[in-house]
């Protein structure tokens, strides 16, 4: 199973705020004719996801939103199969610095240090699944 981390900046980073939340989602990206209507939760992200991964339709298989605070560790569970451990969160003026661990069940698939900021989501290319590809997304909202 091959995983690829792709960090995409969609605009200038906006300063971190006390009420920031981190949103995680598990997506299925497919090519369909005609293309499926974009889910509401992905309206702002869909153009870049489609361009980066080369698919024309997106499905939200699961999503979760949690408070994001410096000094806290948290678990994000966008689906029963995949979940994130977010640890060592520190807040800088324009971003959060953190360690991310991605699990499938009890298996650790990916461990990385990442910076997350408003307007700069993190996309993780997952394995081929069914007629498409799994994509995991983390975004500060």
Position 119 scores a pLDDT of: 86
DSSP states of 84-115 as a string? Answer: EEEEEEEE-SS-EEEEEEEEETTEEEEEEEEE
Position 20 scores a pLDDT of: 84
User: pLDDT digit string (tens) for 78-121?
Assistant: 888 888 888 878 888 888 888 889 898 889 988 999 888 888 99
- Mean pLDDT, to the nearest integer, of 33-52? 96
Position 17 scores a pLDDT of: 65
Asked whether the predicted pLDDT for residue 15 surpasses 60, the reply is no
Nearest to 24 by CA among 86, 70, 72: 86
Backbone angles phi, psi at 85, to 5 degrees: -110, 120
- Report whether the peptide linkage leading into residue 76 is cis, meaning its omega lies within 30 degrees of zero: no
Mean pLDDT is highest, among 17-21, 26-30, 77-81, for: 26-30
Position 43 scores a pLDDT of: 94
Q: Residue 70 has what DSSP assignment?
A: T
The domain total for the chain is 1
Position 6 scores a pLDDT of: 46
Q: Which domain covers residue 124, as residue numbers?
A: 4-140
Q: Do residues 69 and 87 make contact, with C-beta atoms less than 8 angstroms apart? A: no
Record the pTM. 0.82
Position 8 scores a pLDDT of: 44
């Amino acid at each position: 199973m091959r995983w690829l981390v792709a960090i995409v900046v969609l605009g200038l980073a906006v300063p971190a705020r006390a009420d920031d939340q981190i949103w995680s989602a598990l997506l299925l990206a497919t090519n369909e004719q005609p293309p499926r209507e974009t889910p509401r939760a992905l309206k702002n992200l869909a153009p870049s996801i489609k361009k980066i991964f080369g698919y024309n339709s997106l499905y939200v298989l699961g999503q979760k939103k949690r408070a994001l605070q410096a000094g806290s560790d948290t678990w994000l569970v966008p689906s029963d199969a995949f979940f994130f451990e977010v640890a060592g969160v520190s807040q800088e003026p324009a971003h959060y610095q953190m360690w991310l661990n991605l699990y499938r069940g009890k298996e650790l698939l990916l461990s990385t240090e990442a910076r997350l900021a408003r307007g700069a989501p993190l996309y993780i290319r997952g394995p081929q699944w069914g007629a498409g590809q799994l994509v995991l997304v983390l975004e500060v909202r």
